C-alpha cells in the first residue's frame, strides 16, 4: 500500500526555520516526482516546490524562492523541505504528493499530475 507521511510541522516564530519530511513507502520504485503543497484556510492549495524523479531538478514558487529548499534521499525514501526565514504568510497545512509517472528532468507544481497525497502537517508562523 502506497503511503506518504509528512512530519516536522509546528509553531515557529517569524524568521525561524523548520524542516519538513515526507516519508514514502509501498512504491515499487524510488523514482517518482515529489511535490510540496500548502493550503491556508480559505485559500486554494498552492504548489510550493517540487523535485524530479532522478536528476534532482527542482522548482519553487516565487513566494518561497531563496528561503525554501527541497531535497531527496532515495536510500531513505524521504524528501525534505527546509524552510528558512519563515513568515506569517507561510502558515498553512503542508502536503507532500507523489507523481509516479513524472519526469526525470522536471516537475510540476500543479496538483493535477500527482497520484498520491499525504495527510498534511500544520505549520504555524506566529510570534
Locus of grid cell 499525504 = 118
* pLDDT, mean of each 10-residue run, the chain (127 residues): 96 98 90 95 96 91 98 93 98 97 90 95 97
pLDDT value at residue 99: 95
Q: What is the largest CA-CA distance in the chain?
A: 43
Per DSSP, the three-state class of 89 is: helix
Q: Residue 47 has what pLDDT?
A: 98
Contact yes or no for 46/110 (Cβ under 8 A): no
Q: How far is CA 63 from the centre of its chain?
A: 14
CA 86 to chain centre: 15
Using DSSP's 3-state secondary structure scheme, residue 69 falls into strand
Amino acid at each position: 500500500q502506497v503511503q506518504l507521511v509528512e512530519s516536522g510541522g509546528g509553531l515557529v516564530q517569524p524568521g525561524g526555520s523548520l524542516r519538513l519530511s515526507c516519508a514514502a513507502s509501498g512504491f515499487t520504485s524510488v523514482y517518482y516526482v515529489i511535490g510540496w503543497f500548502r493550503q491556508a484556510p480559505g485559500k486554494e492549495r498552492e504548489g510550493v516546490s517540487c523535485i524530479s524523479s532522478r536528476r534532482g531538478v527542482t522548482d519553487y514558487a516565487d513566494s518561497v524562492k531563496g528561503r525554501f529548499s527541497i531535497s531527496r534521499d532515495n536510500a531513505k525514501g524521504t524528501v525534505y523541505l527546509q524552510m528558512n526565514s519563515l513568515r506569517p504568510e507561510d502558515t498553512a497545512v503542508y502536503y507532500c504528493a507523489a507523481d509516479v509517472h513524472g519526469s526525470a528532468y522536471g516537475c510540476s507544481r500543479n496538483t493535477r499530475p500527482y497520484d498520491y497525497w499525504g495527510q498534511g502537517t500544520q505549520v504555524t508562523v506566529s510570534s
